[in-house]
Amino acid sequence: MPTALITGANRGIGLGHTRSLLERGWTVHTAVRDPKGAKDLSALSEAGYDGELVIHSYDAREPDAAKKLAREVTGPLDILFANAGVMGPKAQGFGDLDFDAYLDAQRVNVMAPLALAEAFADQVSASALKVMALQSSRMGSIADNDSGGRYAYRASKAALNAVGKSLSVDLKDKGVIVLILHPGWVRTDMGGDQGLLTVEECVEGQLDLIARANPAMSGRFYHVNGQDLPW
């Protein structure tokens, strides 16, 4: 049975990926801050899918969270999906600098995915698919930034892209394929009502990309539509 681990799976894009992989018969380990409060996720357990759902407690802000998770999730891992993310403080325009709030976005969006990669590299390497997917954002593209602002979020996703590129080099010998992904503008709590894609459309596109992952794609930055994005 193919197996995935998805962070931030209680709502939004992560929940969509969980549902879709369960429909396909996968074992899906989900990592969420509040397992008891994750009602939409728990409902998937009762929906009669072929796949198996396991819910773990995980807070991306905690430095040891990934190691703790690795003690609970054993065996080969076909997809490690570092999806949990935060936009950061409401005010992050020019003049709004808040050291602690900006560092918090780095903690969740950058350090936590790197900690997951460190904790699970061998298990991903031991799987058939060997995919590490990092949920980045086009807002982390420096070349694509023509509207400014959103300093904390943009800087965190640009840093995540740098992390993903290094991981692709460092884990090449293990055969791990690191995909750096932009999900599109998706209608979720973070993306808002005006987003261009439904969660289902985003998930379908991202799972298509993952299904055709190969070593030549490792360390590259992909739009959900399959196009390469500029750094």
Q: Which parts of this chain interact with ligand NDP (CB under 6 A)?
A: 7-8, 10-14, 33-34, 58-61, 83-86, 108, 135, 137, 182-183, 185-186, 188-191, 195
Q: Which is nearer to ligand NDP, 25 or 117 (CB)?
A: 117
Q: Least separation, in Å, of the C-beta of 227 and ligand NDP?
A: 15
Q: Least separation, in Å, of the C-beta of 175 and ligand NDP?
A: 25
Q: Which is nearer to ligand NDP, 1 or 91 (CB)?
A: 91
Those residues with Cβ within 8 angstroms of residue 11's Cβ, 6 or more apart along the chain or in another chain = 40, 188, 189
Helix (H, G, I), strand (E, B) or coil at 212: coil
Give the DSSP letter of residue 91. -
Exposed/middle/buried for 193, CB within 10 Å: 0-12, 13-18, 19+? exposed
- How far is Cα 158 from Cα 78, in angstroms, rounded to an integer? 25
Closest CA to 6 of 195, 16, 162, 163: 16
Q: Least separation, in Å, of the C-beta of 199 and ligand NDP?
A: 7
Q: Which is nearer to ligand NDP, 9 or 217 (CB)?
A: 9
Sign of CA dihedral 204, 196, 220, 125: negative
Q: Which is nearer to ligand NDP, 135 or 161 (CB)?
A: 135
Q: Least separation, in Å, of the C-beta of 110 and ligand NDP?
A: 11
